[in-house]
Every structure is written in structure tokens, then in C-alpha cells.
Amino acid sequence: MMKKMIALLLCFSIFVVFILNISTGTIRIPFDSVVAILLGDEEMKSTWRYIVLNFRLPKALVAMLVGGALSVSGLLMQTLFRNPMAESYVLGVSSGAGLGVAILFLGSSILPASLVSLLSSTYGVAIISILGSFLLLLLVLSVSYKVKNTATILIVGIMFGSFANAAISILTFFSSAEEIKRFTFWALGSLGNLSYEVISFFAFVVLIGLLGALSLARGLDALLLGDNYASSMGINLKLTRNSIIVVTALLAGVSTAFVGPIAFVGLAVPHITRMLFRVNQHRSLIYYSAGIGAILMLLCDMLTQIGGDHFLLPINAITSLFGAPIVIWLLLKSRAYL
């Protein structure tokens, strides 16, 4: 009964923040008017309907998808590495996705024209981003088997990320102004500019990733207790780890492809979820983390608009301001993390 109440409360909170997000902007639209527009009321102001349906609703949907995907991918990485500070941005996985996109955007002169043409679509960018995430995550995981120290694994992830960023810088040096502009705009991160068709594809991929994560819940619970215990429960360790890598790369890669690198959401949300709901079972953690991540990204998107109609703050700047203190808190909380 308590779980149902918590689930209902979480869904209600998501709904309220979702409507507040759509209401917020240079043109304020009343809460009840937003609900009426979403329910199909055509008697509302045509201007309001156009703003809500063509600009704010798509952006809010993307914020929820990104928040849920990055939060669950962060949870999976923290379990896989048994590391409370593991996250796609911290471990350089986002940089791997960024390198894949950079090769596509900035390396067109060194790639076959037919391949560039094939991958230049929105879906092609998503595929190359997922592959970049997957390869870098494999590198970090291979090192983690040999190095058990938490801080060292983080440093290794940062070094891999630095290598990817260095490669991006070299590609930038040899690229045209138009190519650099295109990549820079992507790297700043944005929740807007996605059509409903692309959002549908994004949602489909995220749904597959979340279902994959839920299917791994038993194995994730066992991994937290150690490899020997997991093996005694009949868990196929190699298959489970490989599946976690695929799901994590899918969620982190597709999010990075469509909105750019977003920092610290995957790091902070799993810890916030554990503190709020006091649960350790991954089936519950996955649901709750996705919900809290969606709420967090909606709130961060609202904060990007504090400049009014003069400017919008980069979403990555807001999430970094929120997430960086979480990292410091984790470092100070317990020496066991080091």
C-alpha cells in the first residue's frame, strides 16, 4: 500500500512540475489554461496554443526523457562499478559520445562522403553517439577489473574523457567555421529544437533502455553483494555486465546525441532517490530514479529562463551548479569512497 502511495505521489509531482514548466516562459500562460490546451480545448488563445504545442510541450517532454535516461544510466554505472560517484559525465562516457559526434561533424573531410551522408541525419547522430559511449564505457570497465580503488577508477575515467576531448580539439583545429559552429551549438546542450517525430524515436529508445534496466534488476541487486554471492544465486556475471554496458550506453548515448552532454544528473539523482525513498532494490530504484530525474530536469529547464526574454542559460551550466556540490558532499561524507 505504501509503495502505491509513493508511486502516486511521484506521478502527481511529475504532473505538477510538468505543467509548471510549460507555464513558465517570457509569455506566462496560466496553469489551468495549459491543462485545457493539453486536453484539446480549441477555444483558448491561438497564440497560447501555438506556443504550448509547438515549443514548450516538446521541450518539456525532452527534459523528462533526458532526466529519466541519464538518472537510470547513472544508477546502473554506480552499481556496475560499485562506485557512488560513477556517472556518464564523470567517467568520460559522455565525452566518448561527444567524440563520436565530433568525428561526424568535424571529420567529414577524412570520412567517406557516402558514410557522412548516411550518418548526418538525426538518427545517424544518435547511432554514432551510442557507439562512442559504448566503446569508452568498455575501456573504463576493462581498467576497473584491474584497479579496485574507487578514486583511481574515477581518475582513469577522467583521463579517457580528457583523451576524447583532446581528439575533439584536434578535429576542431582542422575544421571549417561552419563545422565548428554546428558542433559548438550541439555541445552547449539544448532541450529544444526537436520535432515530435524525433521525440517519438527518442522516447522509443529510452523505453527500450528502461525496460532493459528493469529486466536486469535481480542481477543488479546481486552485484551489490559481490561477485561470489551473485554467482551463487545463478547470475551469469559476464552476460549481466555486458547487458548493463549496452543499456547504459544506449541511455547515455541517445540522450547526449539529442541534447548534448548534460553533467551530474546521473550522479546526483540515484543518491537523492535513496535518501528520499529509503529503498535499495533496483526495481524500485529504477522507477523512482527515472521519476526524480524527470522532475529535476524540468526544474533545471525552468531555471535556464531566469534571464527572461533577454537570454537563456545553458542547461548544462544549471545541472553542473546543482551536481558539483553533490560530488563534494560524497567525497566528504565517508572515507570509504576513497
Give the span between the Cα atoms of 240 and 161, in whole angstroms.
25
* Residue 67 domain flag: no
Residue 20 and residue 79 in one domain: no
Residue 43 and residue 93 in one domain: no
Residue 156 and residue 17 in one domain: no
Residue 80 and residue 19 in one domain: no
Residue 44 and residue 97 in one domain: no
* Residue 57 domain flag: no
Number of neighbouring beta carbons within 10 Å of residue 182: 15
**From first to last of its 338 residues, what are the pLDDT tens digits of the chain?**
677 888 899 999 999 999 999 998 888 888 888 888 888 877 777 888 888 999 999 999 999 999 999 999 999 989 988 888 778 777 778 888 888 888 888 876 666 666 666 666 777 888 888 888 888 888 887 887 777 666 677 788 888 888 888 998 888 888 888 888 888 888 877 888 888 999 999 999 999 999 999 999 999 999 888 878 888 888 888 888 889 888 988 998 899 888 988 888 888 899 889 888 888 899 999 999 999 999 999 999 998 887 665 667 788 888 888 777 876 776 676 544 44
pLDDT at 118: 61
pLDDT at 111: 66
First to last CA, the chain: 39
pLDDT at 147: 72
Q: Is 328 exposed, middle or buried, given 0-12, 13-18 or 19+ CB atoms closer than 10 A?
A: exposed
* Residue 22 domain flag: yes
Number of domains in the chain: 2
Give the span between the Cα atoms of 295 and 313, in whole angstroms.
18
DSSP structure class, residue 83: -
**Cβ-contact 67, 272 below 8 angstroms:** no
Number of neighbouring beta carbons within 10 Å of residue 71: 32
Q: Which domain holds residue 266?
A: 73-337
**Cβ-contact 85, 267 below 8 angstroms:** yes
Residue 167 and residue 233 in one domain: yes
Residue 35 and residue 170 in one domain: no
Cα-based distances in Å from 152 to 85, 124, 143, 147, 172: 12, 34, 10, 7, 30
Residue 196 and residue 286 in one domain: yes
Q: Report residue 289 as a C-alpha cell.
A: 530514479
Residue 81 and residue 18 in one domain: no
Residue 264 and residue 156 in one domain: yes
Residue 86 and residue 9 in one domain: no
Residue 85 and residue 31 in one domain: no
